[in-house]
C-alpha cells in the first residue's frame, strides 16, 4: 500500500511544504527503500565521485528505512547548513528556486512501488534523498546548489529558465566528473538508478563531452530514455567558480540567437571524452 501518494495539487502552505509524516510509512515502504539503498550502495563504490560516497554516511541514520527528514536535516545542517523539506509532488519553478536559494532541498515524500524499482516518471523520496542529499553534504556542491537557486530566480526575469534548466539537467541530474582514477558519476538521476549507473559510465552508445557552460545551455535533452550525451566536469570547484563568476545575462542574450543543439550533437569545438555509437535502442526500463 502506498501511504504517500498525494492526488491533490493544492499547496498545503505558502512555500508548498508539507509534513513528511514519517510515522505513516508502512513496513513495506521502508523495505523498498532498503532494497534500493542496498543495491546502489553495492554498485557505487568505484563508480560514484568520492564526494558522493563520503556524503552517503549522511543517510546512515539511527534506523534503516526511509530517512526521517528531521533527523537528516539536523545532520545536513551541521555539515553545510542545508535542510530537506517535503513537498507533495512537483512544485512551481519559482518555489523550487526560492527553496534552493535558502539552502532547502525539496523532496518528494512518497516512495515508488515494488513493480517500479527501476524507473518512474516523478521523483520519489529515493531519487530525491539518495540521489541528491549526499552531495549537499559537500561544502562546494552545497554552495553550487544554492547559487543555482538564486540563478534560477534571476533567469526567470530574462525568460531564460529553459536554458538554465539544461545546466541543472546536465550537472545536478546527469553529471559525470573526471577524477585521477577515471570517470565518476555525480548526477542524482544516474546515482539513484542502477541501470543508468552502468549505462552512463560503461555503455558505448552515449557521447561523453567536456563541460562547457554555453554549450550545455544550448543542448536539448531526453527525459524518457538514457542520455545521449553526458557532460564531464573537471572538479566541483571548477563548476562552482565558473557558474558563480559568470554573469549569465549576456549569455542568455547570445543564446537567444543561437539554434538549440540536438541531444546527440558533436561540435568541432567539443572536447570529446568518448564519442558514442548512439546504437542503444533498449529504452529505459
Ligand atoms: N551567475 C549566474 C547568473 O548570473 C547564477 C548561477 C550561479 C547560475 C550558479 C547557476 C549556477 O545568473
Ligand atoms: Fe532530481
Where do the domains of the chain lie, and which CATH numbers do they carry? 7-274 (1.10.800.10)
Give CA angle at 6 (5, 10), nearest 5°: 165
Residue whose Cα lies nearest atom 8 of ligand 1: it is 151
Reported confidence tier of residue 9, pLDDT bands at 50, 70, 90: low
- Using alpha carbons only, give the angle 70, 72, 74 rounded to the nearest 5 degrees: 70
Q: How confident is the model at residue 122 (pLDDT cuts 50, 70, 90)?
A: confident
pLDDT at 172: 98
DSSP assignment, residue 232? E
| Cβ of 149 less than 6 Å from ligand 1 | no
- Distance between Cα 171 and ligand 2 center (Å): 11
Atom of ligand 1 nearest to the CA of 247: 4
Residue 236 CB-density burial (10 A; 0-12 exposed, 13-18 middle, 19+ buried): buried
**CA 197 to ligand 1 centroid distance, Å:** 28
Q: What angle do CA 216, 190, 62 make, to 5 degrees?
A: 130
Residue 248 near ligand 1, beta carbon < 6 Å: yes
User: Which ligand ends up closest to the CA of 163?
Assistant: 1
Cα–Cα distance, 8 to 161 (Å, whole number): 26
Tens digit of each residue's pLDDT (9 = 90 or more) over 137-151: 999 999 999 999 999
| Ligand 1 contact, 151 CB (< 6 A) | yes
Q: Which of 244, 247, 254 to mutate to test the pocket of ligand 1 (most atoms within 8 A of CB)?
A: 244
Q: Ligand 1 within 6 A of 243 CB? A: yes
- DSSP result, 155-178: HHHTT-HHHHHHHHIIIIIT-EEE
Q: Decide whether any atom of ligand 1 lies within 6 Å of the 153 Cβ.
A: no
Q: Report CA(261)–ligand 1 centroid distance (Å).
A: 21
The H or E element that residue 108 is part of is strand 104-108
The model's pLDDT over 234-261, given as tens digits with 9 standing for 90+, comes to: 999 999 999 999 999 999 999 999 999 9
pLDDT (tens digit per residue) in 259-270? 999 999 999 999
Which protein residue's CA is at the shortest distance from atom 6 of ligand 1? 151
Instruction: Name residues whose C-beta falls within 8 Å of residue 215's C-beta, 6 or more positions apart in sequence.
Output: 209, 231, 261, 267, 269, 270
**pLDDT tens string 186-207:** 999 999 999 999 999 999 999 9
Asked if residue 147 has its Cβ within 6 Å of ligand 1, the reply is: yes
Ligand 1 pocket test target in 100, 150, 152, 160 with most atoms within 8 Å of CB: 150
277: confidence class by pLDDT, cuts 50, 70, 90: very high
Note the pLDDT of residue 250.
97
Amino acid at each position: 500500500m502506498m501511504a504517500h501518494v498525494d492526488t491533490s495539487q493544492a499547496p498545503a502552505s505558502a512555500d508548498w511544504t508539507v509534513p513528511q509524516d514519517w510515522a505513516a510509512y508502512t513496513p513495506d515502504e521502508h523495505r523498498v527503500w532498503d532494497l534500493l539503498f542496498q543495491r546502489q550502495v553495492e554498485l557505487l563504490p568505484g563508480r560514484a565521485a568520492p564526494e558522493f560516497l563520503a556524503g552517503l554516511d549522511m543517510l546512515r541514520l539511527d534506523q534503516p528505512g526511509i530517512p526521517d527528514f528531521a533527523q537528516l536535516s539536523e545532520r545536513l545542517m551541521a555539515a553545510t547548513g542545508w535542510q530537506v523539506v517535503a513537498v507533495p509532488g512537483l512544485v512551481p519553478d519559482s518555489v523550487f528556486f526560492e527553496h534552493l536559494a535558502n539552502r532547502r532541498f525539496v523532496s518528494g515524500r512518497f516512495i515508488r512501488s515494488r513493480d517500479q524499482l527501476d524507473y518512474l516518471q516523478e521523483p520519489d523520496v529515493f531519487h530525491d534523498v539518495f540521489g541528491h542529499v549526499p552531495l549537499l553534504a559537500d561544502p562546494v556542491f552545497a554552495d553550487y546548489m544554492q547559487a543555482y537557486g538564486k540563478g534560477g530566480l534571476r533567469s526567470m526575469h530574462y525568460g531564460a529558465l529553459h536554458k538554465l534548466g539544461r545546466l541543472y539537467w546536465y550537472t545536478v541530474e546527469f553529471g559525470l566528473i573526471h577524477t585521477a582514477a577515471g570517470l565518476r558519476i555525480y548526477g542524482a538521476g544516474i546515482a539513484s538508478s542502477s541501470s543508468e549507473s552502468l549505462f552512463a559510465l560503461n555503455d558505448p552508445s552515449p557521447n561523453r563531452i567536456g563541460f562547457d557552460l554555453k554549450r550545455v545551455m544550448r543542448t536539448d535533452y531526453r527525459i524518457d530514455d538514457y542520455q545521449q550525451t553526458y557532460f564531464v566536469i573537471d572538479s566541483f570547484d571548477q563548476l562552482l567558480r565558473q557558474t558563480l563568476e559568470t554573469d549569465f545575462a549576456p549569455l542568455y542574450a547570445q543564446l537567444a540567437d543561437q539554434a538549440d543543439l540536438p541531444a546527440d550533437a558533436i561540435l568541432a569545438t567539443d572536447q570529446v571524452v568518448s564519442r558514442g555509437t548512439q546504437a542503444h535502442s533498449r529504452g529505459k526500463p
